[in-house]
Amino acid sequence: MRLEARTAFVTGGASGIGAATARRLAAEGARVAIGDLDEAGAREVAAEIDGFGCALDVADAASARAAVAAATEALGPVDVLVNNAGTDRFAFFVRSDEELWDFVLGVNLRGVLACTHAVLPSMHERGRGVIVNVASEAGRVGSQGSATYSAAKAGVIGFTKAIARESARYGVRCNAVAPGPIETPLLNGAEAQLGELGARLKQGMIDATAMRRSGEPEEIAAAIAFLASDDASYVTGQTLNVSGGLSMW
């Protein structure tokens, strides 16, 4: 039980990678809080693992502060933050507009800043804590139809390194995972939003992996659990690709 007696907070834990991560962290012994735009979904997954579920909009810093305060009251101070909530609106960049930029950057980049800002002072004060950010291979290699999302995820990778440098002296580690194509509603949204073209974008990502397959949410959850645990005690500022070898640097 690598996470015994720790409290974890997973954003976007009602679905996909976040739900798999909440289940995995609980199986490793953590008390798990889940915040999601989908409050009912968060409560449902939380009920399964005897955790705490609440409403959260990561794009709203006040909501992030309130959700972290509620989780802290229910389960104790957050030892492990998993910044997982994310979304995309697939469109070629020339067809995107400022509303799309603000929305996609607001959730995927600003949301990571807001939740980190809500937990970090307490982690510094207590001299312990781990943050795992869910970035994306899109932030390393760029993803067609997802330029703004790629920019946000590259931002998350840079943010991860800066927080690792600022927080090491306080006993806090910060790392990221960069998933490749993972079978979740988000990935399959490409086809829902762009039709045949979206299906081809997804297949293109799968063909770009060395393993020539998509991944399962549990395969990302396993990497997050490793980074959250003391098995990764000398690892900070890193982005671990969990992508069937899509990129190899």
Determine which residue in the list 15, 148, 150, 209 makes contact with ligand NAD, applying CB under 6 A: 15
Site string for ligand NAD, 127-156 (x = CB under 6 A): -------x-x--------------------
**Only segment of 50-58, 95-103, 158-166, 230-238 that touches ligand NAD (CB under 6 A):** 50-58
Determine which residue in the list 10, 30, 46, 59 makes contact with ligand NAD, applying CB under 6 A: 59
Q: Where do the H-state alpha helices sit in 12-109?
A: 16-27, 39-48, 61-75, 98-105
Helix (DSSP H) and strand (DSSP E) numbers for the chain: 10, 7
Q: CA-CA distances (angstroms) from residue 47 to 6, 19, 26, 101?
A: 18, 12, 12, 35
Check binding of 239 to ligand NAD (CB under 6 A). no
What residues from 66 to 85 belong to the interface with ligand NAD (CB under 6 A)? 84-85
Measured CA to CA, the distance from residue 185 to residue 194 in angstroms comes to: 14
Which segments of the chain are extended strands (E)? 7-11, 31-36, 52-55, 80-83, 129-134, 172-179, 239-242
Structure tokens at 207: 């063909």
What residues from 163 to 192 belong to the interface with ligand NAD (CB under 6 A)? 179, 181-182, 184-187
Question: Where do contacts with ligand NAD occur on this chain (CB under 6 A)?
Answer: 11-12, 14-18, 36-38, 41, 56-59, 84-87, 107, 111, 134, 136, 179, 181-182, 184-187
